[in-house]
């Protein structure tokens, strides 16, 4: 059986042995081992072996576990292991069960108990559910409305039975037709009916808890003549040609992974012979092949456009290449046909270091796990090196034909998403700004120079809005007491005469950070008890807390406070601020509190413009 | 010396049934191998087609019940 998952490498010769070894992996390395084993073009047999080895190992991956129940009008016996194995590719542990195939409404009725406890019900229909009799009326607009309504109530029934979500697939069109070219515009033809039904199915995805797997699109990519298997339909009620079980499973699993938040977020690109033709160190900027002048140049233009299209929808781009950094940067700035520019990348790591180490650095700088990264490189040795040393990273197979490298980026399932938000589109830019700041830090002579160079401005903003409440209630790391405020308490702060609040926004030369800190103190006689002090970790190490303390002391003095009293309450994730008060010059009172004399206080130095 | 059809077939059987101890003869039928049910039968047919690079017709598949039938039909296609 061959599939068209060309962006995955063929399993290596020793794949069986590697599967055997998974049972011997310890729990800590199990996830990585399993992710790595999933990153191949697995045949039906490979998938079955992998699933059995995992079951026999007795270890459960720490991936999100999802139960999936299949309602289908076709044979489902060959699905479960293919789906589960593809799930490992996308970081989910799929537990698949299926109703005996048949009319799906009946299957639902007989499977209510099973559906009630399932995470996802997959409604897998084929055109055989809409088999027409000879009359055109069997597939006319009345029939279409009824089919749509039936499907819609099937979805409702699944959700009402307790399923957490429903995944409906679009229906691949059959081969051939009744009239020829007019089929598509003639009510009563299968082509007319199924195209419209698919539109209606896609609209279902707007409902809460409903996803649509576009299997019609998959079948079209594969080619309907390949996809359908009339013999298999007759022999065993197969839904499609079994060669494409791995493709089908991949489409479903990537969507499940995306719905579980497991989609990858970062594309790391090599440069020479990957996003342009030739070796820039040898051929020079003018010598690389990129642009409309020849077929090879066109192929690489398409690669760059495909990468940019991913960036436009929120995938973060980085470069990891064995090259001279200055040459590379000059190429991005000056080559006339370069589609990708320096500022499209959060990191350009052009050096002679080990690529696996470079990728680790890139992920760390972005605070991403390695399982967020996808790597594209033409050099098989580099791919192998990254596969071996960083099993969490998805390493794309690199096609021998340059003209289809772009398709590799367009077809791989790692960046699947269930919806597109405006934030997705802007995300890559936000990370780019973060990376620029990090870069500014690394080139600065000292931390003070760096902070001065950031051009920071702090605008005091004491409005007790939702963001202020969110800072107090949702911050886990820079949070001194972990004291959460109930909804009403925020309003009380507003009215109370004996509280001091400080909040504020930060901006710097790279952009706005929004409101990033919230401090609340309660006055008791001449003491100012700091109830809590929170700050967004995005602005850690900028001296914001020093600037905020200056403001807090001023306000405390105005209100007759002589001593500020702070407390640190340790929690699971706030060790970061253990020494917060010590660092700000508070004295340890020995009773778990920290004291600061308002009279003796000299304002702390910082590099932030204070704006009122 | 080329490998005989039945030897190649045995390889497919062992792979499909995940059992390296399986030994087939021309007389072997579904009754002799516990896991050989209707679901596995189809999978077996597909695997044989892939291994030998052939394709049986619907008519042929209906007649394939013993290893002997399989060997004869495969040889007819080769």
Mean pLDDT of A35-63: 91
Mean pLDDT of A381-401: 93
**Confidence tier at A113 by pLDDT (50, 70, 90):** confident
Q: Residue A519: what pLDDT?
A: 94
Tokens 């077939």 sit on residue: B9
Mean pLDDT of A221-245: 93
Q: Residue A494: what pLDDT?
A: 72
Q: Residue A469: what pLDDT?
A: 82
Structure confidence by residue, pLDDT tens digits, A146-170: 999 999 999 999 999 999 999 999 9
Task: Inform me whether the pLDDT recorded for A2 exceeds 50.
Answer: no
Cross-chain residue pair B18–A1, CB shorter than 8 Å: no
Helices (H), A205-244: 215-222, 224-227, 230-236
Strand arrangement, sheet containing A120-124: A93-98, A65-72, A120-124, A165-169, A210-213
A262: phi then psi, degrees, rounded to nearest 5:
-100, 5
Alpha-carbon gap: A217 to the closest alpha carbon of chain B (Å): 25
Mean pLDDT of A403-422: 90
A456: phi then psi, degrees, rounded to nearest 5:
-80, 145
**Confidence tier at A425 by pLDDT (50, 70, 90):** low
Which of A396-405, A489-498, B37-46 tops mean pLDDT? Answer: A396-405
Mean pLDDT of B33-62: 89
**Confidence tier at B13 by pLDDT (50, 70, 90):** very high
Contact A58, A88 (CB under 8 A): no
Q: Residue A3: what pLDDT?
A: 56
- A-chain residue closest to B15, CA distance: A45
- B-chain residue closest to A45, CA distance: B16
Cα–Cα dist A318/B35, whole Å: 50
Distances (CA, A) of A382 to A34, A358, A405, A412, B11: 21, 12, 17, 19, 35
Mean pLDDT of A67-94: 95
Least confident of A141-155, A421-435, A557-571: A421-435
Cα–Cα dist A291/A297, whole Å: 5
Cα–Cα dist B57/B49, whole Å: 11
Buried b (16+ CB within 10 A) or exposed e, A306-338: bbbebbeebbbbbbbbbbeeeebeebbeebebb
- Among B42, B48, B58, B64, most A C-beta atoms within 10 A, so best to mutate, is B42
Structure confidence by residue, pLDDT tens digits, A242-285: 999 999 999 999 999 999 999 999 999 999 999 999 999 889 99
Query: How far is CA A563 from its chain centroid?
Result: 47
- A-chain residue closest to B61, CA distance: A235
Structure confidence by residue, pLDDT tens digits, A343-376: 999 999 999 889 999 999 999 988 889 999 999 9
DSSP state of A272: B
Q: Residue A156: what pLDDT?
A: 94
Q: List CB contacts (< 8 A) between B38 and chain A.
A: 236
Q: List CB contacts (< 8 A) between A44 and chain B.
A: 43
Least confident of A430-434, B21-25, B70-74: A430-434
Better-predicted residue by pLDDT, A321 or B64: A321
Q: What is the ipTM of this complex?
A: 0.86
Cα–Cα dist A224/A191, whole Å: 13
- B-chain residue closest to A52, CA distance: B18
**Confidence tier at A335 by pLDDT (50, 70, 90):** very high
Helices then strands, counting H and E runs in chain B, come out as 4, 0
Task: Inform me whether the pLDDT recorded for A427 exceeds 80.
Answer: no
pTM of the model: 0.74
Q: Residue A444: what pLDDT?
A: 45
Average pLDDT, chain A: 89
Mean pLDDT of A381-402: 93
Strand arrangement, sheet containing A593-597: A587-588, A593-597, A563-567, A527-535, A511-524, A499-508, A456-460, A608-611
Task: Inform me whether the pLDDT recorded for A536 exceeds 60.
Answer: yes
Task: Inform me whether the pLDDT recorded for A486 exceeds 70.
Answer: yes
Kindly provide the residue ranges of all beta strands, DSSP E only, lying in A21-131, ordered along the sequence.
65-72, 93-98, 120-124
A/B interface, count of CB pairs below 8 Å:
29
Contact A332, A285 (CB under 8 A): no
Q: List CB contacts (< 8 A) between B16 and chain A.
A: 45
Distances (CA, A) of A50 to A44, A83, A397, A446, B39: 10, 11, 20, 52, 20
Report yes or no: B59 at the A interface, CB cutoff 8 Å: no
Mean pLDDT of A449-469: 82
**Confidence tier at A108 by pLDDT (50, 70, 90):** confident
CA-based angle A425:A431:A434, to the nearest 5?
150
Closest partner CB to B58 (pick from A52, A77, A231): A231
In a 13 Å sphere around the CA of A107, the CA atoms on its Cβ side amount to: 23
Alpha-carbon gap: B35 to the closest alpha carbon of chain A (Å): 14
CA-CA-CA-CA torsion sign (A394, A395, A397, A398)? positive
A-facing residues of B in 29-48 (CB < 8 A) are 38-39, 42-43, 45-47
């Amino acid at each position: 059986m061959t599939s068209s998952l060309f962006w995955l490498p063929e399993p290596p010769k020793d794949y069986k042995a590697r599967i055997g070894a998974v049972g011997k992996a310890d729990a800590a390395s199990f996830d990585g081992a399993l992710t790595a084993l999933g990153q191949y073009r697995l045949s039906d047999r490979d998938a079955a072996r992998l699933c059995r080895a995992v079951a026999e190992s007795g270890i459960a991956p720490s991936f999100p576990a999802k139960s999936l129940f299949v309602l289908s009008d076709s044979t489902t016996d060959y699905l479960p292991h293919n789906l589960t194995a593809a799930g490992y590719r996308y970081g989910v542990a799929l537990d698949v069960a299926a109703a005996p195939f048949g009319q799906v409404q009946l299957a639902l009725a007989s499977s209510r108990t099973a559906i009630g406890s399932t995470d996802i019900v997959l409604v897998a229909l084929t055109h055989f559910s809409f088999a027409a009799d000879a009359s055109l009326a069997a597939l006319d607009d009345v029939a279409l409305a009824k089919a749509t309504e039936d499907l819609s109530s099937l979805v409702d029934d699944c959700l009402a039975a307790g399923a957490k979500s429903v995944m409906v697939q679009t229906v691949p069109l059959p081969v051939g037709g009744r009239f020829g070219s007019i089929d598509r515009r003639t009510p009563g033809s299968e082509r007319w009916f199924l195209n419209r039904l698919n539109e209606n199915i896609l609209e279902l995805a707007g409902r809460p808890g409903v996803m649509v797997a576009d299997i019609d699109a998959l079948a079209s990519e594969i080619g309907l003549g390949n996809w359908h298997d009339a013999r298999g339909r007759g022999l065993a009620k197969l839904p499609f040609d079994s060669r494409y079980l791995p493709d089908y499973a991949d489409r479903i699993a990537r969507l499940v992974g995306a719905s579980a938040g497991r989609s990858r977020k970062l594309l790391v690109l090599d440069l020479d012979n990957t996003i342009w033709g030739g070796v820039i160190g040898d051929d020079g900027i003018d010598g690389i092949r990129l642009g409309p002048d020849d077929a090879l140049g066109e192929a690489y233009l398409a690669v760059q456009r495909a990468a940019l299209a991913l960036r436009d929808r929120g995938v973060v781009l980085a470069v990891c290449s064995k090259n001279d950094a200055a040459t590379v940067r000059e190429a991005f700035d000056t080559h006339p046909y370069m589609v990708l520019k320096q500022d499209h990348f959060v990191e350009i790591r052009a050096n002679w270091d080990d690529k696996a180490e470079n990728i680790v650095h890139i992920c760390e700088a972005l605070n991403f796990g390695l399982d967020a990264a996808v790597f594209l490189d033409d050099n098989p040795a580099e791919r192998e090196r990254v596969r071996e040393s960083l099993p969490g990273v998805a390493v794309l197979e690199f096609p021998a034909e340059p003209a289809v490298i772009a398709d590799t980026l367009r077809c791989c399932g790692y960046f699947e998403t269930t919806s597109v938000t405006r934030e997705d589109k802007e995300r890559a830019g936000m990370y780019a700004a973060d990376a620029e700041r990090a870069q500014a830090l690394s080139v600065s002579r000292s931390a003070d120079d760096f902070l001065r160079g950031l051009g920071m401005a702090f605008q005091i903003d004491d409005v007790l809005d939702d963001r202020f409440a969110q800072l107090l209630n949702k911050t886990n790391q820079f949070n001194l007491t972990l004291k959460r405020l109930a909804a009403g308490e925020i309003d009380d702060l507003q009215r109370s005469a004996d509280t001091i609040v400080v909040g504020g926004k930060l901006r710097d030369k790279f952009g706005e950070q929004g409101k990033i800190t919230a401090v609340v103190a309660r006055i008791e006689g001449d003491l100012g008890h700091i109830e809590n002090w929170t700050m967004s970790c995005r602005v850690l190490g900028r001296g914001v807390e020093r600037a905020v303390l200056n403001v807090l002391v001023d306000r405390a003095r105005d209100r007759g406070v002589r001593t500020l009293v702070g407390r640190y309450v340790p929690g699971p994730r706030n060790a970061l601020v253990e020494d917060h008060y010590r660092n700000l010059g508070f004295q340890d009172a020995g009773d778990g509190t920290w004291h600061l004399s308002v009279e003796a206080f000299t304002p702390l130095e910082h590099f932030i413009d204070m704006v009122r | 010396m080329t490998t005989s059809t039945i030897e190649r077939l045995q390889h497919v059987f062992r792979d499909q049934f995940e059992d390296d101890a399986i030994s087939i003869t021309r007389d072997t039928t579904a009754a002799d191998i516990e896991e050989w049910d209707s679901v596995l039968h189809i999978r077996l047919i597909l695997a044989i087609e892939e291994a030998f690079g052939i394709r049986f017709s619907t008519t042929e598949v209906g007649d394939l019940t013993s290893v002997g039938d399989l060997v004869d039909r495969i040889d007819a296609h080769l």
